[in-house]
A = this chain, B = another copy of it.
Amino acid sequence: MAVATQSLEELSINSIRFLAIDAVEKAKSGHPGLPMGAAPMAFVLWDRFMRFNPKNPKWFNRDRFILSAGHGSMLQYALLYLFGYDSVTIEDIKQFRQWESKTPGHPENFMTAGVEVTTGPLGQGIANGVGFAIAEAHLAAKYNKPDANIVDHYTYVILGDGCNMEGVSGEACSFAGHLGLGKLIALYDDNHISIDGSTDVAFTEDVSKRFEAYGWHVQHVENGNTDLDAIAKAIEAAKAVTDKPSFIKVTTTIGYGSPNKANTAGVHGAALGTDEVALTRKNLGWEYEPFVVPQDVLNHTHKAVERGAGYESEWNKAFADYKAKYPQEAAEFERYLSGKLPDGWDKVLPTYTPEDKGLPTRKHSETCLNKLSAVLPELIGGSADLTHSNLTELKGKGDFQKGQYQNPNIHYGVREHGMGAIVNGIALHGSGLIPYGATFLIFTDYMRAPIRLSALSQAGGIWVMTHDSIGQGEDGPTHQPIETLASLRAIPKLTVLRPADGTETSGAYKVAIERAKANAPTLLALTRQNVPNLAGTSIEGVAKGGYIVVDSDGTPDIILIGTGSELSLAVTAAEKLTAEGKKVRVVSLPAWDLFDAQDAAYKESVLPKAVTKRLSVEAASSFGWHKYVGSEGATVSIDTFGASAPGNVVLEKFGFSVDNVLAKAKELLG
Q: Which residues of A contact B (CB under 8 A)?
A: 27, 29-30, 70-71, 97-101, 104-106, 108, 118-122, 161-162, 165-171, 174-175, 177-178, 194-196, 199, 201-207, 209-210, 212-215, 383, 385-389, 399, 401, 411-418, 442-443, 445-446, 448-449, 452-453, 455-456, 473-479, 482-483, 486-493, 609, 612, 621, 623-624, 626-627, 630-632, 639-641, 643-646, 649-650, 653
Contacts and interface: CB of A to CB of B under 8 A. Distances in A.
Nearest to A202: B413
A125 to B, nearest CB: 11
A475 B479 CA distance: 34
A207 B455 CA distance: 34
Given A205-B177, A417-B167, A446-B121, A97 B478 contact: no
Given A178-B202, A414-B165, A627-B626, A213 B215 contact: no
B486 A387 contact: no
Nearest to A211: B213
Q: How many copies of this chain?
A: 2
Contacts of A417: 167, 417
Contacts of A168: 167, 446
Contact of A195 (B386, B492, B632): B386
Contacts of A177: 204-205
Nearest to A485: B490
Contact of A108 (B122, B387, B399, B476): B476
A445 B446 contact: no
Contacts of A204: 177-178, 215
Contact of A456 (B97, B449, B478): B478
A98 B623 contact: no
Contacts of A475: 71, 105-106, 120
Contacts of A473: 29
B446 A492 contact: no
A165 to B, nearest CB: 4
Contacts of A210: 209-210, 213-214
Given A178-B203, A210-B213, A446 B449 contact: yes
B486 A623 contact: yes
A415 B122 CA distance: 10
Which of A118, A389, A489, A645 counts the most chain B CB atoms within 10 A?
A645
A347 B487 CA distance: 37
B214 A202 contact: no
A502 B321 CA distance: 71
Contacts of A443: 121, 449
Which of A98, A165, A196, A199 counts the most chain B CB atoms within 10 A?
A196
A482 B492 contact: yes
A643 B98 CA distance: 9
Given A120-B476, A212-B213, 5 more contacts: A97-B474, A106-B476, A456-B477, A626-B627, A630-B631
